[in-house]
């Protein structure tokens, strides 16, 4: 039997990632990420997470705040793969698109996530950074991050309910 091609290895990695995400199992992702993986935040271009250990720890935080995560079938083009997923964060429905770039060894070297709609992104922004800040820095940093993001989440959820009535 011939050895799997890079495309077959990447396909298997994406399938493993999707299954682990649906189970909320960040530890199952460890071998999928290259040692120098970069995760681009969906919330700001000012922050990326770098390195396998940090990206796996970030996924533990992500899976702790997302509920009912369901993925879609992936799409691929060369070394790039993508799939969408839906979930809820604090009861707010969220849709996201995951863009992955692989190295020749079929490890993820770059992971970028795009989130919609704005109220879901704002709720994620008010929920995830406090957890990450507490893990990476301190409980005080986490509390401050949460307090700074909370008004934005409230404003965007309120605007989402009211603005469409004016359109």
Its pTM stands at 0.88
What domains are there in the chain, each with its CATH number?
6-115 (3.10.450.50)
pLDDT at 12 over 90: yes
pLDDT in tens, 130-149: 898 889 899 888 888 888 88
Q: How many residues does the chain have?
A: 167
pLDDT at 94 over 90: yes
pLDDT in tens, 145-158: 888 888 888 888 88
- Structure tokens belonging to residue 76: 């691929």
- Structure tokens belonging to residue 113: 């996530």
Looking at per-residue pLDDT, the higher value among 46 and 2 belongs to: 46
Strand partners, 76: 81
pLDDT at 91: 94
- Structure tokens belonging to residue 158: 């309120």
Q: How far is 25 from 137, CA to CA, in rounded Å? A: 23
Strand partners, 97: 84, 114
């Amino acid at each position: 039997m011939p050895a799997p091609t890079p495309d077959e290895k990447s396909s298997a990695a994406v399938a493993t990632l999707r299954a682990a995400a649906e189970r909320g199992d960040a530890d199952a992702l460890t071998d999928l990420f290259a040692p120098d993986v970069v995760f681009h935040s969906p919330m700001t271009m000012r922050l990326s997470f770098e390195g396998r250990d940090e990206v796996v720890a970030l996924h533990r935080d992500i899976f702790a705040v997302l509920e009912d995560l369901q993925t879609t079938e992936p799409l691929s083009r060369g070394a790039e793969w993508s799939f969408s997923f839906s979930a809820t964060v604090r009861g707010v429905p969220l849709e996201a698109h995951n863009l992955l770039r692989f190295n020749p060894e079929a490890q993820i070297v770059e992971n970028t996530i795009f989130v919609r709609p704005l109220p879901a992104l704002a709720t994620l922004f008010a929920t995830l950074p406090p957890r990450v800040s507490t893990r990476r820095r301190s409980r005080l940093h986490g509390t401050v991050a949460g307090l700074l993001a909370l008004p934005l989440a409230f404003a965007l959820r309120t605007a989402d309910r009211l603005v469409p009535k004016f359109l």
